[in-house]
Amino acid sequence: MDILQTYGFMLIVTAAVVGFLMAWGIGANDVANAMGTSVGSKALTIKQAILIAMVFEFAGAYLAGGEVTSTIRNGIIDPTYFADTPELLVYGMISSLFAAGIWLAVASYLGWPVSTTHSIIGALIGFASVGVSSNAVEWSKVSGIVGSWVITPGIAGFIAYLIFQSAQKLIFDTEKPFENAKRYVPFYMAFAGFIMSLVTIKKGLSHVGLNIGDGMGYMISIAIGITVAVIGKIIIGRIKYDPSAVCAAHFANVEKVFAVLMIVTACCMAFAHGSNDVANAIGPLAAVVSIVNKGGQIGTEAPISWWILPMGGIGIVAGLALFGHRVIKTIGNGITHLTPSRGFAAELAAASTVVIASGTGLPISTTQTLVGAVLGVGMARGIAALNLGVVRNIVISWVVTLPAGAGLSIVFFFMIKGIFAP
C-alpha cells in the first residue's frame, strides 16, 4: 500500500505512456479489419482509407468508448489473488500494456494482422501465472480463446463463401449482369444495412449509455435495412447504361455499386471497432488509475478519467497514420485478389460473424474473423487464388501472439517489480 501512496503518480504516468503505446499498436494493426478490403479492391486509395478510418475510429473510441470499463478484459485473471498486494496488479497491468504494445508494433512492421485482444490477454496470462500464481488465471477461458482461432475464421469464411457464390450465380454469371444487379443488389443492401446497424448497436452505442434491448435493436436494424434497400433501389435505377455494351462494361457498373456499399460497411466497422477495442488499451490503464486513487481497492470495473478516452483515440489514429498501411496491404492484396464485390462479401461476412459472436458469447477476434472471410472469398475461386505463403505467415503469427505477449509481460513485470519494490 505504501508503494501506491509513494509512487502513485509515477505509476499512473508510466501506465499512460504504455497505454498510449498499446492504443498506437491497435491503430497500426487492427484498423486493417475495417479498411483492408476497401483498399485491396481499389474502392478506396490507401490515403483515403486512412483518413476515413481516422475519423470513424476516433469517433468510436471517444464518443462510444464508455464511462466505465472492465478492469480485467474477458475475466481472464482472478482479482481476488491481488487483494492483499494490489501493487502487483498495477505492475502487471503496466507490463501487460507494454508487452502487448511492443508485440503489436513488431507485428505491424512485418505486416502481420494479429489480434490486439489476444495480445493483451496473452500478456495478462504471462504476468499473472508466473509473477503471482498459475491459479490466478481462468484457464477455461484461455481454452475458449484458442478454440476461437479455428471457429470464428471458419464461420466468417463460410458466410463469405455463400455471399460471394450467390452474387456470382445471381449477377455475374448471367447474360444481363447489370439488369440482375438492379434486381438483386437491393437485397444485399438490406442485409448489409441490417447487419451493420446491429454491429453499431451492439458494439458501439452500448458503450455510450444507450442500452437498447435486443428486441428493439432488431426492430431498428430491420427498419434501417429496409430503408437502405429502398434508397439503393432508387439510386441504382437512375444509373445510365448501354444494354448493347460489352459484358465487361456491365461488370464495371456492378462493381461500382458494390464499391459504394463496401465503403459504408467499412465506416460502420471502423466506428464499432474504435468503440470496442479501445478498451484493450484503456481498460488496464483505467484499472491502474482506479487502484492508485482508491488506495489499493480493486473493483471489477473502473471509472474512466476524462483524459483517458481522448488519449486512446489519439493513439489509435497515430498508429494508423504511421504503420496502418502495412497490415492494410496484407489484408487487401496479400491473401487473394479482391474486387469490390469480393471485398463486400468478406466485409459483410465478418460483420455477420461479429453479430453471431455477440449473441452467443463466443470469444472473437475481429482480425481473425476478417482474415477468415477473405480466405472464404478466395476459396470460392479455388485454392490457386490464395497466396499460401502469406496465409502460412498469418497463421503462425496468430499462434505466436499469446506466448509472445506472455513472455514479454513476464520480463517487464519482474523489471517493474524490481524498480519499485522496497
DSSP string computed for 197-220: HHHHHHHTGGGGT----HHHHHHH
How confident is the model over 105-120, as a mean pLDDT? 90
**Cβ–Cβ under 8 Å, residues 44 and 263:** yes
For residue 108, the model assigns a pLDDT of 92
* Coil vs helix vs strand at 295: coil
* Alpha helical stretches, state H, 132-176: 139-167
Nearest alpha-carbon partner for 119 in 105, 140, 131: 105
Which residue carries 462510444 as its cell? 64
- Mean pLDDT, all residues of the chain: 84
CA distances to 211, 272, 377 from 163, rounded to whole Å, are: 31, 22, 9
Residue 171 amino acid letter: I
Domain ranges (residues) in the chain: 2-420
Could you read off the pLDDT of 250-283 as tens digits, one per residue? 677 788 888 888 888 888 788 877 777 777 888 8
pLDDT > 70 in the chain, percent: 91
Cβ-contact 315, 102 below 8 angstroms = no
For the CA atoms of the chain, what is the radius of gyration? 22
What tens digit of pLDDT does each residue of 329-373 get?
888 888 888 888 888 899 889 888 888 877 776 667 788 888 999
Q: Looking at 278-365, list the stretches that DSSP marks H as alpha helix, in order from N- to C-terminal side.
A: 279-293, 308-329, 340-360
Output phi, psi for 246, to 5 deg: -65, 160
Contact predicate 347/260, CB 8 Å: no
Give the tens place of pLDDT for each residue, 184-209: 888 998 998 898 888 777 665 655 55
Confidence of residue 409 (pLDDT cuts 50, 70, 90): very high
Higher pLDDT, 414 or 245: 414
Which H or E run includes 364? none
Among residues 7, 34, 96, the alpha carbon closest in space to that of 262 is found at 34
Predicted local distance difference test score (pLDDT) of residue 70: 57
pLDDT tens-digit readout, 59-82: 877 776 665 555 555 578 888 888
Could you report the per-residue pLDDT of 123-163, keeping only the tens digit for each?
Answer: 999 999 988 888 888 888 777 777 777 888 899 999 999 99
